[in-house]
Chains A and B, each alone.
Chain A
Amino acid sequence: MLQRLLELVAEGGLRSCADLARELGVSEGLVGQMIEDLARMGYLRPVADGCETQCAGCPLAETCAIGSPTRVWALTEKGQLPDART
């Protein structure tokens, strides 16, 4: 199931947890847990943990109209499995 998740993500573009949950036939909660596990194993990497990392150090953060309260993960090099693409 983890491999299938990585395959779905590797198809490219942006996937939401709900989208992945639907395709894998499990709940969003379980997808969240799998994502955390994959991140721990080094297959995924958190991109931006909301505003803190995204806006830290930006002098115009307070005038910025759009924060980013969402969590985003990217496939790591390890996550782009050669056999996951088959």
Chain B
Amino acid sequence: MTNDQIPNPKSQIRNPKPETRTEPGRSVRNQITVALTGQPNVGKSTVFNLLTGLSQHVGNWPGKTIEQKTGTYHHNGITVQIVDLPGTYSLTANSLEEQIARDYIIKEKPDVVVAIVNAAALERSLYLVAELLELSVPVVLGLNMTDVAEQQRMYIEPHVLEAALCLPVVPMVASKNQGMRELVEAVDRLASDPDSYDPRRPGIREDHQAVLAHLQKIIAEQVPEPYPENWVALKLLEGDREITRIMQERLSPEKWEQVHSILMKHEDAILAVAGARYEWIGRMVRAALVRPTFGQVTLTDRVDRYATHPFWGLLVLVGILGLVFWLTYTVGAPLQELLDTYLVQAGAEWVRSALSGAPVWLVGLLADGVIGGAGMVVTFLPILIIFFATLGLLEDVGYMARAAYVMDRFMHLMGLHGKSFLPLFLGFGCNVPAVMGARVVEGQQARLLTILVAPLVPCTARMAVVAVLAPIFFGRHAALVSWGLIGLSLVMLAIVGIALHELVLGGEHVAFIMELPLYHLPNARTIGLSVWQRSVAFLKKAGSIILIVSVVVWALSVLPGGEIESSYLAGMGRLLSPLGKLMGLGWRMMVALLTSFVAKENTIATLGVLYSTGEEGARLADTLSGVLTPAAALAFLAMQMLFIPCVAVVATIRQETGSWRWTAFNIALLLVLSFSVGIAIYQGAVLVGWGV
């Protein structure tokens, strides 16, 4: 057993014979009162139990339902009565606990207050101490849980802290009964020589010292016992409700008017008072705490030096996005092709042979409409799973918050509303929550701007369409093309944002803070669960809305005569032909684009229906790759990215803006934008002679 371990403190501390002490300079008393304070969960109860043992008395605080614990111990002939105050984070009288603790210290004036603080969370614990020091009672600091702090590689030097605070500091591990004797002795020393107590107090910020002094002068000799005058002046400036009420009752109307006008003039003085406490905490901790040199915290710091850097952070984000696409193409695209061959083509073949005797329309409906359309969309699944898994992984390790942080800076540079980043970022998943999320944006105009640009965020459905079509048209350059298309969407978003910002908003100033979580190892279960939920939701969509649209598109493509070239759909498509020609696109591609209005994936479903050749083993990829020139394919994909969002998003825009006018404006804006970009790309390519 080490010297500072006492298994039963009472047996060692207790001295049954009270002595009369006659040391010079020390007050001679047989009984003192000590109040025990601290925040919840700092080991205060353990200290109380160790000190008082079986001598505890449990009751309620007078007139309150909160438990009051008292007890005694004896040391050096003195009976020490311990009062365990409720655990509180501060003494601002916000809660009943804080009120009780504060009233007790002020009104009962214990001889010593022992403040137990958690060494592992020293900064958090010190706020209460800062407030205690503003009162006149002597304080001993019990620096508890030093073992936990050391485990976290936080080393506190008690003597340095003691010198900085100018009050007794006792390092202890109450759970192991270490440091109790030293605590008892420190209390004893301070109680018998209270005049020596002169701690370094937080005070108030310099620019408010004069007003504090002025206030104190006005209320001088009017402050009721036992409140200290300087403390009351400080609390008035802080806007403390109870003290304000007491002083309003106490002061003459003229004096109160004087006080009131000062308080009105300095209503932000609370920042100067509380701010000074934080400065004081910062100074104390800087002096006494040796920070960890390695570990999780610094790993996050080190990674964030790049991940959240205005320039490098953007590069990291772009790199990660590129990596996600590379992974999707190298792993997901071959799987998608396999599914296309063995599920869609083989399935259609099987239907044709199994139903050889059935009516032609039924075979067509099932083989071309259902399997060719909705079935084709199901082959997206491997691509989406990889996409969901990588996004889930990035989210789980804590990177997504950084991506949002970097994105915001990037958007902010271009004049976009800073606070819009959250809803817009949600848009990468689906534009519907992006439009809905615009509710968090303050100000009607800012909210409107966020809603209007939200459809330009490339959602997973659009990206999946690109993920399927880009390899067909651009082979090994697919990742680069997809990457460029996302870049294009974001640049367009920025341009539209800047234009609308200038026209509608006029440079509103917005600011906010974001808490970036620590990076941590990913949890396979969390990621798996999110991939599962999202995949199931996707399959449900494929089985419902996409299936219906596929069947409708198929029906329109065979009615009335059974020939696609003379069908209703062809008729509608040909209306768009003049526009399509400007982009090198035939009517089938224009119809595919139009059907994406119902759901983005329908582009693929429609192409699946319209390019079903009925030939054995003919995959959509083989048929499509010969249909478009690279220039037209690029124009088509760019339009696909910028085209009006799906009907769910449009409905949400109507609901959130509450205006058909703005909804129509948004649709018109996106139509003009997508067709202009498509035409510009194709005509530009024709002009330079590329890919035609």
Q: Which residues of B contact A20 (CB under 8 A)?
A: 513
Q: Does B48 contact A (CB under 8 A)?
A: no
Are the C-beta atoms of A72 and B123 separated by less than 8 Å? no
**Is A64 in contact with B272, judged by CB distance below 8 angstroms?**
no
Known: A33-B123, A54-B440, A74-B419. A65 touches B534 (CB 8 A): yes
Which residues between 36 and 86 of chain A lie within 8 Å of chain B, taking CB atoms? Answer: 37, 40-41, 43-44, 47-48, 54-55, 57-75, 80-81, 83
With most chain B CB atoms within 10 A of its CB, the pick from A30, A34, A66, A71 is: A66
Binary contact track A1-19/B, C-beta < 8 Å → 1, others 0: 1111010011111111111
Say whether B675 faces chain A, with CB atoms less than 8 Å apart.
no
Is B271 part of the contact surface with A, judged by Cβ < 8 Å? yes
Closest A residue to B205 by CB, please name it. A3
Output the nearest chain A residue to B275 by Cβ-Cβ distance: A2
From DSSP, what is the main secondary structure of chain B's interface residues?
helix
Given contacts A25-B282, A83-B268, whether A12 and B516 have CB atoms under 8 Å apart is: no
Q: Within the complex, what minimum Cβ distance (angstroms) separates A2 from chain B?
A: 4
Q: Given A18-B304, A74-B511, are A29 and B516 also a contact pair (CB < 8 Å)? A: no
The reply to whether A70 and B404 form a contact with Cβ atoms under 8 Å apart is yes
Contact of B513 among A44, A48, A68 (CB under 8 A): A44
Q: Using Cβ atoms and an 8 Å threshold, which residues of chain B touch A66?
A: 391, 395, 400, 425-426, 428-429
CB of B433 closer than 8 Å to a CB of A: yes
Point out the residues of chain A lying under 8 angstroms from B200, CB to CB: none
Contact of B124 among A25, A29, A64 (CB under 8 A): A29
**How far is B432's CA from A58's CA once the two chains are assembled, in angstroms?**
8
In the bound complex, do residue A60 and residue B533 qualify as a contact, i.e. CB atoms below 8 Å apart? no
Judge if B157 is at the interface, Cβ distance under 8 Å: no
- Interface hits, B254-275 → A, CB 8 Å: 268, 270-272, 274-275
Look across to chain B and name the residue whose beta carbon is closest to the beta carbon of A13: B412
Mostly, the A contact residues are mixed
Contact partners of A34 in chain B: CB under 8 A: 278
Is A13 in contact with B511, judged by CB distance below 8 angstroms? yes
Residue numbers in B under 8 Å from A43 (CB-CB): 271
Assess whether B442 is interfacial by the CB under 8 Å rule.
Answer: yes
Contacts of A65 in B (CB 8 A): 387-388, 391, 428-430, 460, 534
Question: Interface size on A (CB < 8 Å)?
Answer: 58
Q: Determine if A64 and B511 form an interchain contact, defined as CB atoms under 8 angstroms apart.
A: no
Report the separation of the CA atoms of residues A19 and B516 in the bound assembly, to the nearest whole angstrom.
10
When each residue 391-433 of chain B gets 1 if its CB lies under 8 Å from chain A and 0 otherwise, what string results?
A: 1000100101100110011001000001101100110111011
Q: In this assembly, does B281 line the interface, its C-beta being within 8 Å of a C-beta of chain A?
A: yes
* Cross-interface CB contact of B514 among A12, A16, A27, cutoff 8 Å: A16
Q: Which residue of B lies closest to A26 (CB)?
A: B282
Q: Out of B123, B419, B538, which one reaches A27, CB within 8 Å?
A: B123
Q: Name the residue on A nearest B267 (C-beta).
A: A78
B515–A72 CB distance below 8 A = yes
- Contacting B440 at CB < 8 Å: which of A3, A18, A47, A62? A47
Beta-carbon contact of B127 and A33 below 8 Å? yes
A3: B residues at CB distance < 8 A:
205, 268, 271-272, 275
Cα separation A48 to B510 with both chains bound (whole Å)? 16
Are B268 and A81 neighbours in the complex by a CB distance under 8 Å? yes
A37 to B387, CA, bound (A): 40
Contact of A14 with B268 in the complex, beta carbons under 8 Å: no
Which of A14, A20, A57 has most chain B Cβ within 10 Å? A14
Chain A residue with the shortest CB-CB distance to B387: A65
Contact B278 A70 (CB under 8 A): no
Contact B124 A37 (CB under 8 A): no
- Least Cβ distance of A6 to chain B in Å? 7
State how many angstroms separate the Cβ of B511 from the closest Cβ of chain A.
5
Q: Which residues of A contact B516 (CB under 8 A)?
A: 16-18, 70
Report whether A2 and B271 are in contact in the complex, using a CB–CB cutoff of 8 Å. Answer: yes
CA distance A18 to B205 in the complex (A): 24
Q: Which of B286, B513, B537 contacts A72 (CB 8 A)?
A: B513
C-alpha spacing A25/B278, complex, angstroms: 11
A-B contacts, 29 of them at CB < 8 A, read A1-B275, A2-B274, A3-B205, A3-B271, A11-B511, A12-B418, A14-B511, A15-B512, A16-B513, A17-B515, A18-B304, A18-B516, A20-B513, A30-B281, A35-B513, A41-B274, A43-B271, A47-B422, A48-B440, A54-B422, A54-B433, A58-B433, A58-B436, A60-B433, A63-B538, A66-B429, A72-B422, A72-B514, A81-B271
**Interface residues, chain A, with chain B CB atoms under 8 Å away:** 1-4, 6, 9-20, 24-27, 29-30, 32-35, 37, 40-41, 43-44, 47-48, 54-55, 57-75, 80-81, 83
* Nearest 6 pairs of A and B residues by beta carbon: A65-B429, A2-B275, A64-B429, A74-B512, A63-B537, A70-B401
List B residues at the A interface (Cβ < 8 Å). Answer: 94, 121, 123-124, 127, 205, 268, 270-272, 274-276, 278-279, 281-282, 285-286, 300-301, 304, 308, 387-388, 391, 395, 398, 400-401, 404-405, 408-409, 412, 418-419, 421-422, 425-426, 428-430, 432-433, 436-437, 440, 442, 460, 509-517, 533-534, 537-538, 541, 648
